[in-house]
Amino acid sequence: MDKKNENLSRRNFVRNSSMATGGIILAPSILSASPFFKKEKVLKLAVIGCGGRGTGAVSQALKADENVKLVAMADAFQDRLDGSFENLSKMFDKNRLKVKPSKKFVGFGSYKKAIDEADVVILTTPPGFRPQHFEYAIAQGKHVFMEKPVATDVVGIKKVLETARLADEKKLNVVVGLQRHYQRSYREIYNRIEQGDIGNIVSGQVYWNSGGVWVRPRKEGMTEMEYQMRNWYYFNWLCGDHILEQHIHNIDVANWFIGEYPIKAQGMGGREIRNGKDHGQIFDHHFVEFEYASGAVISSQCRHQKGCLNRVSETFQGTLGTSNTGGGKTRLTSYSGDKIYVHDGENDKNPYQVEHDELFASIRSGGHINNAENGAKSTMTAILGRMATYTGKQVTWEEAMNSNLKLVPDEDSLTYDSIPPVVLDASGNYPIPIPGQSKLV
């Protein structure tokens, strides 16, 4: 097969695996068979994980379709659930927020009770719990919006991939919060790359360099489990490190635009500045080279250090030209300097809203969106990068998948007195990966 055809067939594969745009695949013959075909039919919504994103996603779901009503909420903590409900009450009237006190569920295991109440569920807890919540939601026949990343370990990735197949069989809609797939600027660039405007991508640079995120300090009386659950960003079993939690967005764009997932990675990283008592075990910087079967190499940087150059964007070099996305510069340029395309974002819609607009339109029309396989494989790409920086070794996709790394305990076995998967050592520190010494983590 020549290079052009090879590229084309790779892209077709990717398109068929629902990775391309997350767009709606309509099946007209089953339109009227959708139980939600009639707009008057109420769609019952539940949210699992009532933090910042959960609250935002509920608001977007309620705006997407006038007959969506929130009927159940679940959170690990009462104060988070109450805060979310209060915020939503300022935005929507009572007719949309039909959550009886008995349908506000709190604690480990609360997800099942809330999912049971709904037609559509929003899964927005820390990502460690996502595979278990997704598995239950699909088993119960619910449509899903779930945030990225979709897991923190390999066992979780495999569960999501298996559940994604079941969602296909059951024709359930699943949107994953990798919102660049729902952002007009990225879709425009993707379509032009796919039609060959910059040729084959041979290299690229993807960045999430910022000052970092919140820290939730330990409070007197907290058990170790409560502390880790509140300060979840800094514990790998819950968060997966910031290479997953934020940088997945940019890594996912590389996979999407190149049209495949990497076969190996090597890199370096550490915790140089953000290394205090409340910073758990994650690194504050990672640099990874991802290599693809086509020969393309992507350099990936993510940094959480204040006072440094901030950059959240993606750049790719093709055989005919370059692509820039993010950071306010969305364009394709030829090597002679001509602009092939410059995106005018003036009338672009908020991609967080578009995710829900398309999800609910698809549910109503009997369509089928399923982003879960790509969500799992892009999460796995970030895990591969983490394995490379934590070990300091070259790690292949196959080795990583075969590792069967498991970080997250069964949620149904947890209480606030349980001992978490990582604990402080005798010197008062959490175990921190050491390149050259650590095993695949």
31-50: contacts with ligand NAD (CB under 6 A): 48-50
Q: How is 68-82 classified by DSSP, letter by letter?
A: EEEEEEEES-HHHHH
Question: How many other CB atoms sit within 10 Å of the CB of residue 370?
Answer: 23
Is there binding between residue 240 and ligand NAD (CB under 6 A)?
no
Which of 44, 53, 158, 218 contacts ligand NAD by CB under 6 A?
53
Measured at the CA of 67, the angle between CA 63 and CA 70, to 5 degrees, comes to: 75
Is there binding between residue 234 and ligand NAD (CB under 6 A)?
no
Minimum distance of ligand NAD from residue 213's CB (angstroms): 8
Per-residue tokens: 176: 């994953």
Collapsing DSSP states into helix, strand and coil, what is residue 251? helix
Site track for ligand NAD across 293-312, x = CB under 6 A = --------------------
Contact 46, 71 (CB under 8 A): yes
372-401: contacts with ligand NAD (CB under 6 A): none
Amino acid at site 329: K
Minimum distance of ligand NAD from residue 107's CB (angstroms): 8
In terms of C-beta distances under 8 Å and separation of at least 24 residues, what long-range contacts does 422-430 make, across chains too?
422/228, 422/235, 422/236, 422/237, 422/281, 423/224, 424/224, 428/277, 430/235, 430/280, 430/281
Residue nearer to ligand NAD on the CB measure, 48 or 144:
48
252-291: contacts with ligand NAD (CB under 6 A): none
Residue nearer to ligand NAD on the CB measure, 111 or 261:
111
Find the radius of gyration of the CA atoms of the chain: 22
Is there binding between residue 74 and ligand NAD (CB under 6 A)?
yes
Contact 49, 125 (CB under 8 A): yes
Residue nearer to ligand NAD on the CB measure, 49 or 259:
49
Total length of the chain: 441
| Span from 4-12, 70-78, 253-261, 269-277 in contact with ligand NAD (CB under 6 A) | 70-78
Contact 190, 20 (CB under 8 A): yes
Which residue from 76, 178, 62, 84 is spatially nearest to 125, judged by alpha carbons?
Answer: 76
Collapsing DSSP states into helix, strand and coil, what is residue 184? helix
Give the integer Cα–Cα distance in Å for 25 and 18.
9
Which of 14, 19, 45, 76 contacts ligand NAD by CB under 6 A?
76
Minimum distance of ligand NAD from residue 54's CB (angstroms): 6
Minimum distance of ligand NAD from residue 158's CB (angstroms): 19
The residues, ordered by sequence, that sit 6+ positions from 282 with a Cβ below 8 Å of its Cβ are 233, 234, 235, 236, 239, 241, 242, 271
Is there binding between residue 325 and ligand NAD (CB under 6 A)?
no
Minimum distance of ligand NAD from residue 86's CB (angstroms): 13
Is there binding between residue 92 and ligand NAD (CB under 6 A)?
no
Minimum distance of ligand NAD from residue 180's CB (angstroms): 9
Which of 26, 37, 63, 77 contacts ligand NAD by CB under 6 A?
77
Minimum distance of ligand NAD from residue 186's CB (angstroms): 13
Is there binding between residue 236 and ligand NAD (CB under 6 A)?
no
148-167: contacts with ligand NAD (CB under 6 A): 148
For residue 44, the cross-strand partners are 69
Q: How big is the site for ligand NAD, counted in residues (CB under 6 A)?
A: 27
Which of 11, 80, 159, 247 contacts ligand NAD by CB under 6 A?
80
Minimum distance of ligand NAD from residue 38's CB (angstroms): 31
Amino acid at site 363: I
Interface residues with ligand NAD (CB under 6 A)? 48-54, 74-77, 80, 108, 110-111, 124-127, 129, 147-148, 177, 179, 229, 245, 411
